[in-house]
Amino acid sequence: MKQFSVFIFLLLTGCKIGGPEDLPARNLGFDAFGRYWYQGKAEVNSYALEQFRYGEKREAEAVLVFVTEDLSREKQVKLDVPEKAGKDAQKILKLNFTKKFVTGVYPYSMLLSTFLPVYDSVPAVKIAASVQDWCGQTYAQLNFRNGTYQAERHSFFETEGDQELTLKARAEDELWTLLRLNPNQLPLGKQNLIPGLLDLRFTHQPFKTYQATISLQKISEAIPGFRAEQLQTLEVTYHDYPRQLRIYFTRAFPYQIVGWDELHFLPDGKQEVSRARRKKVMLLAYWHKNRREFVPLRDSLDLHF
């Protein structure tokens, strides 16, 4: 209750909690946000995905899981006993984003985790991505400390190997969660961005910042289950990196993500479009559904991989 009281105070005064001055306050609709995100459940979304890899389109599946939880400000890990953590507890909106598909005889499994503060006006405090296939595994992590991202990447590729560096920019991966809080807080216009960590694994481009333009657009065509006027597009276009991202989401709270397109531009001018469209969505305390009796819930989410 104390945290909620502080939040109401912020809404009334326009104050910020511990963030850079160039970052806007969240300005969330308290009643709607609290009823939706603090009911003890996660929002689980399943998507039919067409994923390009090695020049061919693959039938794939993606899942976006959004849930609120408490993170340690100091350690940037999930708190075991939040009620005993005091000021170290930080309420965050977490996204776990998975992609699974098969290339020829061997499979790919990809996971992106993003931790975005709900009340503190700072960028995502932690972003981690891992990719596994039969050739090996890679892992990358960004930790936001003192105004910059402390970055590390570990790869089985010789040219990438183990890297540690400092990056001063926003991260593309935080946009998926930031639009869920409030699309009006998206950093529009020209930005230096860290590209999506999963995409960097595929392109093998240098692990650094790139210039991009972020914009909100009208959707050009309807998505099954939604009229075009119900939706909006978040578009990220890079100027020196071969990628464009379009995320399609509902204009009304809770700003659900109903699909996306990832465009990869080839040196010969051609483009590959990986496309996802939502199949099912459920509010689910999935962490309590780990017994065999709950396997049919996968059918309810239309999950096959």
Render pLDDT for 232-274 as a digit per residue (tens, 0 to 9). Answer: 999 999 999 999 999 999 999 999 999 999 999 999 999 999 9
Residues of the chain under the 70 pLDDT cut: 1-30
Over residues 126-172, the pLDDT tens digits come to 999 999 999 999 999 999 999 999 999 999 988 888 999 999 999 99
pTM: 0.90
For residue 15, what pLDDT is reported?
32
Distance CA 140, CA 238 (A): 21
pLDDT at residue 220, rounded to an integer: 79
Residue 26's pLDDT is 64
Give residue 122's identity as a one-letter amino acid code: V
Q: Is 195 exposed, middle or buried (0-12, 13-18, 19+ CB in 10 A)?
A: buried
Residue labelled with tokens 């570990």 = 154
Give the pLDDT confidence score for residue 158 in this predicted structure.
85
